[in-house]
Structure 1
Amino acid sequence: MASSIRPRLSRVALSLVSPSPAPRLAAGLMLALCGAAFADTGKETVLPEVTATASGETASLGLELPASTGSRLRLTPLETPASVDVLEGETIRARGDATLIEAAARAPGITQSGTSGGGALAARGFAGNTSVMRLYDGTRMYVSGGTVSFPFDPWMAERMEVLRGPASVLYGEGAIGGAINTVPKKPTRGTIVNEARVAYGSDDTWRTAFGSGGAVDEHWSYRFDVSRNHSDGYVDRGESDSLVVAAALRLDVSPAFNLTLSHDYGKLEPMRYFGVPLIDGDLDSRLRDTNYNVADSKLRFRDNWTRLDLEWKPADDVVVRNQTYRLHSRRDWRNAEGYRYNPNGTITRSSFLLIGYSLEQVGNRLDSTWSGQLFGLDNQLVLGFDVNRLRYHRDRNNGAAAQTLDAFAFNPGNFPGTMTNGELFKTRTDTLSVFMEDKLQLSQRWSLVGGLRWDRIDVDREGMRNASGADFDKTFTHTSGRIGAVFAATPALSFYGQYATAADPLTGVVNTTAQQSQFDMSTGEQAELGVKQRFDGGRGEWTFAGYWIRKEKLLIRDADDPNVYQQVGAQSSRGVELALAYAFTPALKLDANGTVLNARYDDFNEVVGGTVVSRSGRTPSGVPERAANLWLSWDFLLQWNAGLGARYVGTRYVDNANSAKVDAYTVVDATLSWQLRRDLRLSLFGYNLFDRDYAQTTYNGNSQWVLGRPRSVEVAANFSF
């Protein structure tokens, strides 16, 4: 039974006020800095120009936009021997994607794989935050407890850049499947422009946002954004709430030297929902709206992210960039997350988790780019280093007995009051990375792009509970590289090939256990061939990539002794990806992409009932081998636009034995917008138009399905002034 659409119009007050001092602190800092901005320096400084282009008759995959995610040389995707996509922030918001995870999953070969506990993605046969890295403004977000909680709100994004395939040469371990970089809105030259958004929809969902940015004078410019969202959710007790505040102030000391101070605050309280149990292996419609979590559940993430960026051009052919940063994240869980249906009409509720994580990340990244000649050939070279320290504390409860409850007359009850929480362990992780990248222009058409990175990671762990054997001090080192060639057959057509290596931690680095510290990181390699083209006078762009990836040094059980681990396992994937953007007319545009892959365990054993069983030849769980996206946009009248999109995710196995699977699904969304005035746009968003019941992901193997959003609608008004 699908959840009904039930907007309640009783809520009329939309609040942007947060009880947390962090947004007020950020706003106060912003005002203080802006006040200082009006001081006369006595010098005239010209701000860098920003060029804006209208789409006209073009449709774009971003092949001509500089993308820092695929290369520190800021090459365009046409110049980069890798698969890179650029998703503009305005496009993301126009399509109605509620989270950045949803937006990223519209890129070729990217699918969602995580639950409400922070979200995760899968790419090229590898799933999870330790295989698909998340970045914010080019700096990696470290995984703790399998979770990355920031960024999440599309309002803050200027664009998203998606790099598919190993990214360790750019960002270090943990990116064998790819990297997703959210580039936030930044201070810009020009007249100050303000924008606001108000939206309301199904399940008492409301969204408010405000943004402002521009130049204060010839030296100072700023950007300020705030966004608040709330929903009652599409399941019982499915409330969610979020707040984001971002402020940035830029000082152009001279045309060659600028500083930018930024601070972002995010508070996210997603749905405390971990799915419903299957009955005889199938979804029972009677459970569609049921949430089996406790009534006083908690899921809360708080992130503070401060950066000081410097850019200096001491000469026309030299650029120096430096970023000093601090990120502090606090993540808390209090939930009952495991549910199993019993034949007598009851459920067994278990996995009572009371967990707290605290992660502080402090670091500095410096790089310098030179443009010149090498052996008489045009050459670009970037050299740099990144040093950071992570302090991680983890608390966890001492467990509680399972409960048996009526599945259909469900009384949620509260979290067990007998459970206590205490510090489990803490770690300090120091990382030093040195990297380089070079582009050598061999001829007018041929270029060679390569890179190297060396990482040294020191992990010092102190166990606070049952500490015997838990303390350790381990140093991991790894060197990764990428070499690729690009053949520009024409200025709009490129062929490329590349070979890259990568490293993946057995878990997130800060979560390394004493047992895992005895092993090395997993390693990987990829070979890729592809073609990219702009055609028909810029009205269309298309890309094609074929790849092979192999990951080695997986932990597997010894075939003769199930109590012994060996680091000899391997898995691989091979596949193809195709993306197309085309403007049939200035009013009718198409974006489409699809992927087909074959992911396999090459060598993998696990223990089943005390016996070691080989899973070689099986597909890794949670990895769809088929996926596709489509979006059609039509300006059918002078001030009207309609959009229609479809997202297809293929069959996924839910266990390593491939004994159970989740069926493929297709979800159709639509939009309708009316530019009522130059400064006012009204929009209508429809999600899951055919009210498809589907598993966005699974939990506890195949015992629970975390269901996606049912049919719902939202209306929105966007203002500019």
Structure 2
Amino acid sequence: MQLPVAITALTDADILVVGTLADPRSDSAYPVTRIDVADHPGARLETALQQAAGLQQFRRSDARTANPTSQGITLRGLGGNASSRVLLLLDDVPQADPFGGWVSWPGYDALNLARITVRRGAGQVTSGAGALGGVVELDSLQYRDLLSGRLAYGSRDSVDAKASVLRKLGAGSISLSGSYARGDGFVPVVKGQRGAVDRAAPYEQAGLALRAVAPVSDNTELQANMRAFTDDRDRGFDFSDSQNKGVDASLRLVNRTMAGWQWSALGYVQIRDFANRFGAIAAGRNSVALTLDQYSVPSTGLGARIEVRPPLGDKVELRLGSDWRRTSGETNENFFFTGLVPGRSRRAGGQSDTIGFFAEGSYTPNDNLTLTLGGHADRWKITNGFRKEVNIGGTVRSDDVFADRSGWEGTGRGSIALFVNDSVKLRGAAYAGWRLPTLNELYRPFRVGADATAANELLTPERVQGVEIGADLETDALSLRATAFANRLKNAIANVGLGIGPGNFPGVGFVAAGGVYRQRQNLDAIASKGVELEFDYRSGPYAFGARYAYVDAEVDASGTAALLDGLRPAQVPRHFASASVAYDADAFRAEFDVRYVGGQFEDDINSRGLDDALTVDAGFSYRLLDKLRLELRGENLFDRRVEAAIGSDGVIERATPRTIWAGIAVEF
């Protein structure tokens, strides 16, 4: 079930996150979507983000069935693999997994969020590296008394629950919230292709979040955040389970002096541990053998950020600052199994550091024009890289220590916003950005079915350059946004096919007959151009919305990847569209959402196509008592087949089938 897009920023003083610096003037030149979550505290973050045209995960499956490592997010067709090319921030803290760059979505369902802001396009200077397609900002809810709970029971013995308490304490606040979800799951493989090994894929996920805000002075406050989550999933056959857990903590000081210097300072830590097993399924799907056990992938992210805004008058805004991020981690895995006994073991990992300095200035000579120019210079280092492989109880097969590397990269953006009148705005921008390869891409191999992909310690940073133009029309009831863009992602990291099994291949070991051996490589580029359209209209209790994104993406490749030249990047559809109708009266709420995703290719050589998909969701709620609501909602109501993956053997996996939920919600 989707959420409505807010036409303007939230203005309710009890809901807006006033503990952050004010939205900068440079926002006026961005294609921005604000998603209002205040009325839907129980919705999954993944579902809410579907309201941003063209925002996608690598695969169509959601966090109840997808492998966690496939859940990176991107915009504007800048795919290539499952690492995120959109930067996800929670109260200014980067959220991508420190080792792999994917997003652990169940860890966010416990949060009390005030709003979600999606800013499309690279060159987002103050956000730093990684925002090739844009930035998604999550702002925590505070300064409001709230006691709420939600419990729903659904198809396949599924349970979804959340509870939270938020209290004002003088000039500060404290909140505690938690979430829990479980289900027996569905069989991922489509009917007609299932074998004896196929079964339902259960999941169990939980999260806990604690947030405290305390005033330090009249204009300065201290914000402390901590959250923890666990996420256990199964892919629907033996040896396909994964376990992901993490703990995050951050401290942020914010000074919002309106007539003087404004500043913020942030420090954070992320701790993760991930485990995953892979099984090779025999022809006929009647047996499965354990092939790889990644029994521990620990990682840590550390970071700090500071920003200052000097008082320069009404016409000029200047943002200055610096940021630092360190990621470290390693994969520990056993493979070459005889039954359940491993014959070989592998350890691989390393560390990366990025430190940057940024400046962005906006000039508003009059009420109708805003000019913005900014840059972010980063020094990066990749260090302590290693890969060691041994015969268990015997000899060392390889013991590689990789040379440290470093360099400079930059982010830049110049933009213009012209207000034709109070309702119409024209905007344009040229920008550049970059992304450092993740430790996962550099050092960790992985498998999907019979296919195996090797890491590549020699990967270089991705770099994007692009332009965009757009127009916005906004009135009290109506919002129209249109953007045309063209991007070129140089050194795009993709999974490039290099061989077919059976056989032993470097970095992955044995690949079964028919399986594809791939390696992560830098392509020459991915060229992407397209349009994004969004429409929202509100009238009394009714709300209507529609959004569409068209993406024409093409690979530019040579050398060992020359076969990919002119093809479409894997997992990048050409069309995204959705529409919604909502009715919200005092006692009764109803919403219908229709979503369409065009066909896309599973693989880099465009040989395995995934069909397009049209799904319908709906939700209803009725206020039975003053503080109690009854809820009924459904996902994929017409049980349409949503193809999520197709293996080298032609076996198709599906995403969520029809799921019906019934529940209650209370709020005080």
Instruction: Tell me which interval the TM-score lies in, with the shorter structure as reference length.
Output: 0.7 to 0.9
Paired position in structure 2 for 1:539? 477
- Relative to structure 1, the CA distance from residue 339 to residue 548 in structure 2 (aligned partners, 3 Å threshold; closer, same or farther) is farther
Question: Where does residue 593 of structure 1 map in the other structure?
Answer: 547
Partners in 2 of 1:346 and 1:300 — Cα distance?
25
Matches within 5 A, 1:501-650: 501-505=432-436, 507-509=437-439, 511-513=441-443, 518=458, 520-535=460-475, 538-554=476-492, 569-583=524-538, 585-604=539-558, 606=560, 613-635=562-584, 638-650=586-598
Percent of residue pairs bearing the same amino acid type = 19
Q: For 1:80, what is the secondary structure of its paired residue? A: helix
| Conservation of the 8 A alpha-carbon contact between 1:673 and 1:684 | yes
Partner-residue secondary structure (3-state), 1:148: coil
* Per-residue deviation, 1:581: 0.7
Q: Distance in 1 between matches of 2:344 and 2:222?
A: 44
CA offset digits 1:434-480 (Å, max 9, x no partner): 11222111222111122211111212124251454432211132011
Matched-pair contact (CA < 8 Å) for 1:494–1:531? yes
Residues 610 and 646 in structure 2, CA contact (< 8 A), matched pair in contact too = no
CA distance in 1, matches of 2:519, 2:148: 60
For 2:501, the equivalent position in structure 1 comes to none
Taking a change above 3 Å as real, the CA distance of residues 454 and 579 of structure 1, as seen in their structure-2 partners, is same
Q: 1:698 to 1:623 in 2, by over 3 A?
A: same
Are the equivalent residues in 1 in contact too, given 2:532–2:550 (CA < 8 A)? yes
Are 1:480 and 2:411 counterparts? yes
Tell me whether 1:308 sits opposite 2:260 in the alignment: no
**Whole-angstrom distance in 2 between the partners of 1:246 and 1:564:** 38
Measured against aligned partners, the alpha-carbon deviations of 1:647-702 in whole angstroms (never above 9, x if no partner) come to: 1000102223323311111010111110122211111001111111221x226567
Aligned residues: 600
Picking from 85, 96, 100, the partner of 2:33 is 85
Give 1:61 deviation, angstroms.
Answer: 3.7
Q: How far has the Cα of 1:339 moved from its partner?
A: 4.3
With 486-495 and 153-162 compared, the bigger mean Cα shift is at 153-162
User: More displaced, 625-634 or 168-177?
Assistant: 168-177
Kindly indicate whether the alpha-carbon contact (under 8 Å) linking 1:321 and 1:366 is maintained by their aligned counterparts in 2.
yes
Decide whether aligned partners of structure 1 residues 582 and 232 sit closer, same or farther in structure 2, where only a CA change above 3 A counts.
Answer: same
Indicate how the Cα distance of structure 1 residues 706 and 451 shifts in structure 2: closer, same or farther if over 3 A, else same.
Answer: farther
Decide whether the 8 Å contact of 2:305 with 2:324 is kept in 1.
Answer: yes
Structure 2 counterpart of 1:544, one-letter code? A
Q: Map 1:107-506 to 2 at 5 A.
A: 107-114=52-59, 115-118=66-69, 119-127=71-79, 128-143=82-97, 144-145=99-100, 147-149=102-104, 152-156=107-111, 157-167=113-123, 169-185=125-141, 187-189=142-144, 192-216=145-169, 218-235=170-187, 236-270=199-233, 272-273=234-235, 291-294=236-239, 297-313=240-256, 316-336=259-279, 338-339=280-281, 341-342=283-284, 346=286, 351-373=291-313, 378-400=315-337, 416-419=339-342, 422=345, 424-463=347-386, 465-466=388-389, 468-505=399-436
The alpha-carbon deviation at position 638 of structure 1 amounts to 4.9
Which amino acid counterpart does residue 231 of structure 2 have in structure 1? L
SS of the aligned residue for 1:254 comes to: coil
Please tell me whether the aligned partners of residues 202 and 714 of structure 1 are also in contact (alpha carbons under 8 angstroms): yes
- Secondary structure of the 2:132 match is coil
Match for 1:199: what amino acid?
A
What root-mean-square deviation, in Å, do the aligned CA atoms of Structure 1 and Structure 2 show? 3.1
Secondary structure of 2:645's aligned partner: strand
**TM-score, normalised by the number of residues in structure 2:** 0.83
Counterpart residue identity of residue 718, structure 1: A
Larger radius of gyration, structure 1 or 2? 1
Instruction: Report if aligned partners of 1:353, 1:399 keep a CA contact under 8 Å in 2.
Output: no
User: In the alignment, is residue 720 of structure 1 matched against residue 651 of structure 2?
Assistant: no
Q: CA–CA distance in 1 between the matches of 2:115 and 2:24?
A: 16
Could you tell me which residue of structure 2 aligns to residue 666 of structure 1?
A: 614
Structure 2 CA distance for partners of 1:660 and 1:486, relative to 1, 3 Å = same
How far residue 589 of structure 1 moved from its aligned partner, in angstroms, is 1.1
TM superposition shift of 1:620: 0.9
Quickly say closer, same or farther: Cα 1:424–1:171, change in 2 above 3 A.
farther
Q: Name stretches of at least 5 consecutive residues in structure 1 with no aligned partner.
A: 1-58, 274-290, 402-415, 608-612
Instruction: Give the match's secondary structure for 1:400.
Output: strand
Q: Is the 8 A contact 1:437 1:450 kept in 2?
A: yes
Q: Using the alignment, how far apart are the partners of 2:637 and 2:576 within structure 1? A: 19
SS at match of 1:614: helix
Asked if 1 retains the 8 angstrom alpha-carbon contact of 2:564 and 2:605, the reply is yes
Counterpart of 2:627 (choices 645, 664, 679) is 679
Q: CA deviation at 1:509?
A: 4.7
Deviations 1:320-375 (A, max 9, x none): 10111111111111232x54755xx75776753434211111221111112324xx
| Deviation of the 1:564 alpha carbon | 13
* Separation of aligned partners in 2, 1:320 and 1:564: 44
Q: Select the residue among 632, 657, 660 that pairs with 1:710.
A: 657
- 1:627–1:224 distance in 2 versus 1, CA, 3 Å: same
Letter in 1 for 2:185: G
Could you say if the C-alpha distance between residues 363 and 437 of structure 1 is closer, same or farther in structure 2, counting changes exceeding 3 Å? same
Displacement of 1:601 after TM fit? 1.2
Residue in structure 2 matched with residue 38 of structure 1 by the alignment: none
1:17 match: none
1:596 shift after superposition = 1.3
Amino acid corresponding to residue 258 of structure 1 in structure 2 = E
Cα distance change on mapping 1:420 and 1:646 into 2, 3 Å = farther
Answer whether contact 1:73 1:437 (CA < 8 A) is retained: no
CA shift, 1:490, in A, is 2.0
Measured in 2, the distance between the counterparts of 1:672 and 1:516 equals 49
CA distance in 1, matches of 2:90, 2:207: 14
* Counterpart-to-counterpart distance in 2, 1:347 and 1:122: 36
Structure 2: 5+ residue stretches without partners: 60-65, 188-198, 390-397, 445-454, 499-517
Query: How many Å apart are 1:715 and its aligned residue?
Result: 1.0
Contact 1:437 1:452 in 2 (8 A): yes
Tell me: CA distance 1:685–1:699, structure 2 relative to 1, closer, same or farther (3 Å). same
Kindly state the Cα deviation for residue 576 of structure 1 after the two structures are TM-superposed: 0.5
Given the superposition, is the C-alpha separation of residues 582 and 421 from structure 1 closer, same or farther in structure 2, using an over 3 Å criterion? farther
Cα distance in 1 for residues equivalent to 2:656 and 2:312: 53
For residue 68 of structure 2, give the secondary structure of its aligned residue in structure 1: coil
Could you report, residue by residue, the CA deviation over 1:50-78 in whole angstroms, capped at 9, with x for unpaired residues?
Answer: xxxxxxxxx8544445999xx9862379x
Asked if structure 2 preserves the Cα contact closer than 8 Å seen for 1:495 and 1:531, the reply is yes
Q: CA deviation at 1:298?
A: 3.1
Letter of the structure 2 residue corresponding to residue 372 of structure 1: L
Letter in 1 for 2:662: V
Counterpart of 1:46 in structure 2 is none
Q: Which moved more, 1:574-583 or 1:655-664?
A: 655-664
- How much has 1:707 moved relative to structure 2? 1.1
